[in-house]
Amino acid sequence: MIGKLVSALAVCGALAATSPAHAASCKKDSDCASGQACTAGKCAAKAAAPAPAPAAAPASGAAVNTGRIAWGGIGYYNVTVSVNTAFGNFSASNGAFGINAGGAINLLQLTPDLPLAAWANLGIAFPSGGTFWPITGGAAVRYDKLPVQLLGGLGLTVMPASGGGPTAVGLAIQAMGFLPLPQVHPNFSAVAAIAYHILNQSESLFTFTVGGGWAL
């Protein structure tokens, strides 16, 4: 009888040893062992944290803005010459077709949204009786937070002319707009520019040009 009891106890002990441990009861995570959490009153292994979502890829075809842009265009150039005489002041204007090329590069941030840029532009105009080469360089501010990016600034213009006449020099006031066209190419923009040049030699120059720009 005693032998049968000992055998039964041994079998029960073996079964207990091979049976999975019952989860301990708990009220909060601190009642459980390390690596476990209290779930529905029982300690259980913590669930693995979900993998972080992959970073969103840049939108396909988004416009490129590097702070550097080159442009070229065609447009209207109007040269005005004023002459003072004993009978008063007379002026004559000569409108002409012209072409231009230029570029701008951001130098530093005046504010988070307003960089200071250096810019330069070379134009060639073909009025009757001669050819003019307005060459301009200066400083401008850019604003890129609108659908149309804006540039406006001042510069120094030197305008040689064919025929051996004196070279006109003066102040340039320039305003430009850049419309990004990523559907054409992420680096491409349509460009429109207007400028007024106040020159010596009793001359002034007004220009309006359109063309294309390319982010470099």
Does residue 129 come out as left (phi exceeding 0), alpha (psi in the -120 to 50 range) or beta?
left
Per-residue confidence band for 49, with pLDDT thresholds at 50, 70 and 90: low
Residue 207 lies in a domain: yes
Asked whether the predicted pLDDT for residue 19 surpasses 50, the reply is no
Residue 51 lies in a domain: no
**CATH number of residue 207's parent domain:** 2.40.160.20
pLDDT recorded at residue 160 = 94
pLDDT at 38: 83
Question: Average pLDDT, whole number, for the chain?
Answer: 84
- Given a contact cutoff of 8 angstroms between Cβ atoms, the answer to whether 82 and 199 are in contact is no
For the segment 107-133, the average pLDDT, to the nearest whole number, is 93
**For residues 74-80, average pLDDT:** 95
Flag whether pLDDT at 57 surpasses 50. no
Higher-confidence residue of 114 and 45: namely 114
pTM, 2 dp: 0.69
Q: Is residue 74 part of a domain?
A: yes
Q: What is the pLDDT of residue 170?
A: 97
Give domain status of residue 38, yes or no.
no
- Is residue 5 in some structural domain? no
Across 110-121, average pLDDT: 96
Answer whether residue 62 is part of any domain.
no
Question: What pLDDT is stored for residue 50 in this prediction?
Answer: 64
Q: Is the pLDDT of residue 14 over 80?
A: no
Q: What is the per-residue DSSP string for 147-189?
A: SSEEEEEEEEEEE-BTTSPPPEEEEEEEEEEEEE-TTT-TTEE
Query: With contact defined as beta carbons under 8 Å apart, do 175 and 195 qualify?
Result: yes
What's the pLDDT band for 16 if we cut at 50, 70, 90? very low
User: Taking residues 91-95, what's their average pLDDT?
Assistant: 83
What are the tens digits of pLDDT across the range 182-215? Answer: 999 999 999 999 999 999 988 999 999 999 999 9
Between 127 and 109, the more confident residue is: 109
Residue 36 lies in a domain: no
Domain count along the chain = 1
pLDDT number for residue 91: 76
Domain extent at residue 187: 68-215
